[in-house]
């Protein structure tokens, strides 16, 4: 049997035009919708309540990923078969993968995050690069963090590059957006969370902190801007400012790598403190 012809022949379709506009922040904010591109992101969106609104798929992608299309339909999303030109018109990537989802905003109010009494949180303060923001979110998810907070001076959570860089982790853990850094720190501290700032010029060494056994409790890591790190007024809010030790000759670590090291250090310390063992340990 020949595959069905695409339903959306022209990129000038009103639905396509509406999806294409979501590449711009002002339209995302107005509609409270964003794009999730590629099989992994669409699969995760389909499994996250009623977040997924609609899916555009080429005939080939719909055949290759019939399970995702089925999950999307089961979630209540509209599915449109589309010409490749349509997907290229909507997509923000150089080489589209044939699937693009339109999703509802899913950020969580900061007060709800505090009420859940999180033990591990990543706070992105003045982080402007969407790829870094998405990658830190992915690292936080992998390390078992319970939440991520983006301050009011940070990049848009729903920037297509940030969504892609999260590789689906955006749909896995609560994320609060637009929180002033002072409020984020004060709220987390009141919830019993210790505030650690990650900075290459930190007075204390991460290894020494681990050796001292002081990292087993609830912790929030504050990560700063890619270019200039954390301003002094933000550093002053933290209970301690830690640097990741450089044992080799590298000049520094980029933001996402440093965040991964710090979050995993806390995750390991917390598991040791509660008597839990990593699933990778024999």
For residue 266, pLDDT beyond 60:
yes
**Mean per-residue pLDDT, 97-122:** 97
For residue 78, pLDDT beyond 60:
yes
**Mean per-residue pLDDT, 160-184:** 96
The dihedral sign for the CA sequence 188, 198, 205, 240? negative
pLDDT at 9: 58
pLDDT at 262: 97
At residue 275 the predicted structure's pLDDT band, cuts being 50, 70 and 90, is low
pLDDT at 228: 81
Fold of 14-104: 60s Ribosomal Protein L30; Chain: A; (3.30.1330)
Fold of 110-270: Alpha/beta knot (3.40.1280)
For residue 102, pLDDT beyond 70:
yes
pLDDT tens sequence across 23-38: 999 999 999 999 999 9
pLDDT at 7: 58
**Mean per-residue pLDDT, 254-266:** 95
For residue 5, pLDDT beyond 80:
no
Please tell me which residue, 10 or 199, carries the higher pLDDT value: 199
pLDDT at 277: 47
Range with lowest mean pLDDT among 68-82, 84-98, 131-145, 153-167: 84-98
CB 108 within 8 A of CB 147: yes
For residue 281, pLDDT beyond 50:
no
* Domain coordinates in residue numbering, the chain: 14-104, 110-270
pLDDT tens sequence across 61-74: 999 999 999 999 99
Beta bridge mates, 102: 35, 54
């Amino acid at each position: 049997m020949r595959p069905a012809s695409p339903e959306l022949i022209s990129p000038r379709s009103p639905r396509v035009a509406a999806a294409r506009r979501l590449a711009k922040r002002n339209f995302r904010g107005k509609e409270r919708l964003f794009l999730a591109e590629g099989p992994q992101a669409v699969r995760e969106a389909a499994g996250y309540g009623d977040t997924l609104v609609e899916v555009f798929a080429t005939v080939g992608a719909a055949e290759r990923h019939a399970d995702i299309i089925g999950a999307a339909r089961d979630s209540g999303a509209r599915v449109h078969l589309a010409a490749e030109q349509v997907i290229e018109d909507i997509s923000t990537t150089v080489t589209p993968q044939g699937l693009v989802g339109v999703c509802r905003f899913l950020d969580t109010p900061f007060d709800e995050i505090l009420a859940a009494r999180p033990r591990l949180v990543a706070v992105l303060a003045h982080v402007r690069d969407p790829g870094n923001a998405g990658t830190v979110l992915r690292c936080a998810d992998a390390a078992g963090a319970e939440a991520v907070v983006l301050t009011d001076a940070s990049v848009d959570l729903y920037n297509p590059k940030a969504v892609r860089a999260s590789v689906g982790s955006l749909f896995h853990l609560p994320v609060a957006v637009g929180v002033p850094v002072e409020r984020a720190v004060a709220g987390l501290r009141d919830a019993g969370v210790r505030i650690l700032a990650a900075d290459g010029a930190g007075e204390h060494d991460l290894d020494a902190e681990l050796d001292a056994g002081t990292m087993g409790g609830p912790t929030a890591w504050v990560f700063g801007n890619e270019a200039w790190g954390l301003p002094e007024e933000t550093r002053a809010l933290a209970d301690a400012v830690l640097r990741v030790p450089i044992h080799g000759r590298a000049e520094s670590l980029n933001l996402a790598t440093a965040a991964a090291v710090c979050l995993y250090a806390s995750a390991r310390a917390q598991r040791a403190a509660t008597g839990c063992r990593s699933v990778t340990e024999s």
